[in-house]
Structure 1
Amino acid sequence: MIKNATAVQQRSSRESGAAKTLSDAAEQDILEWLVVLPSQGVPVLANVLELAASEVAAMCDYSRIAFTASPTWVTAFLGCHSLSLRTKLRRGQFTPEDSARVANKLAATLRQRIIHDGVVTVFNANQTAGFFEYVAKHTMDERYETTVWVKSDNKSKERLTAILLADSTCLKYDPRVVSKMRPSSYEKTRVDSARLYNGFNRRLRPSIEAGFTHCCQPADMSWNKPLKDRMRAAWTDYLQAECSKIMTPQEGEEPKL
């Protein structure tokens, strides 16, 4: 609050570019590069701006201590150039309390089943997709731009499924790949197939509620998550390498990814 009424109309001013590490020309180069990527169908990830800014700072002979592309700088850069971050919302996502409740319920059911049936070895089979596509859920775009997320048919597991199998002795078995096929036209073959593959039927094994495999499925936590983490790390390293190439394009070439 201004106590002196005569100072209400006073404004402090400073030159353009003051209190900034990167120059206006350097920020303009980053902005032009970010505008080129969506035109080529490449989604601009949130960390791409940090990588690009770090590369520009290195080209301007700024050390990592002098400029770090901090979240504060990213927020100021986006606001200055009318950009915003977009993220995919998961409506109806379960809370950690719901996950803990379902995990405890499943563990109690399994312990009761093991004691009742005298089970010695517990096998854990996890069905997962054979191909992983890393689509960014946190992207950058112009402010007030409409974003539409198109969901796939969600049938990848039915076409090609990888089965991960392990047991309670910490023994991992070789993964098996099951491809989709039509039911046999011979009745005897269909009956035999249903009898042989009845082990995957819900009547013979406890089922896990949809959306809770991340806390109830050991194979999903110990196999899939580390794999996806390595994929994301490799994707980030790839982006960083591409940023280094794009920031120094050859003469007469347009920046592209």
Structure 2
Amino acid sequence: TRIGQDTPEDGIAVLEAFAARVDAIVKENDIDVIYNADQTAVNYEYLPTKTINKTGEKTIWVKCGGKTKERVTAMLLADSTGTKHPLFLVMKTAASKIKAVVQENMQQRQGFGNTVWKSIVSMQDDNNCRIYGNPTAWWNAQVSLKFLECHFGQRPDRATKKVLLIWDDFSAHFTEDVVAYAKSINVVLERVPPRYTWICQPADVAWNRPLKSRLRQEWLDLIRRQLRNARKRHVPFKLQPPSRATIVAWIVKAWLDLPSTIIVNGFRKCRLVEGSPVDEDVPGGIMDEAVFAQLTASCAIEDTIDPESDFSNTVDEEGDETIVL
């Protein structure tokens, strides 16, 4: 996302300086592999941004499944060879009011209570990922330490060989404890220039868009299945959001399905490795006319509205969420 008055020319200048700095770090430390880690929010509901039916310049209202504000934080990690590494996910979970229980949950169950933890273990095993929980579903310094330990702490050559990890200039990535631990395992941490992730970070430049497109396609496929089941059972259609286990499976599948060429292309676009970048097509995530017609017939889509007459697109005094396709 571009913020403020930064121009494309500003971005190119910052990118050139950043790429030169990374190149100097690589040469100085005899680094062979560059890693990029980026946290991205994944919504439980991914309504499509496009339809292929002829709707004109109208806003289309789609009734949601009730979880439009629920999300998971996914930490993506891949390296300059094109290798994708297992995901770290952070989910929202209620915190106990008893301090001792909170500490026990963090130390023994990655932030989850005893009952929920049983299902979390199953999800981790089924999807080869790590799942942590906290009341905000957001990243923190404790998870940063676990992340570094998991992905870099057990490297067989960690005592003699340095690697470079590039990630956001986010407070939880650069606490004293995090920086000290990274140094102890020979991980060189480098900040992506603030405000310029859109041009300097491989994940933002090349990975996130196709990842989100694949997630949106999973959501559309779920809608299609629910429509078919409703017709077969002759019952009114009611949109059901994905379960926690389903959203985890979606995220992991979308990540695994990203070709290694997209990963490497991100590093090339950011001038962190040699080679010419290529433009990638991002398929999927478009609602076809048949699904649109079925949703309309089942009243999941309401009448179209002229955006110029719709004040709800800019004013949200009541806190209700507007979904615009």
Provide TM-score, normalisation by structure 1. Answer: 0.42
Which of 1 and 2 has greater Rg?
Answer: 1
Provide TM-score, normalisation by structure 2. Answer: 0.34
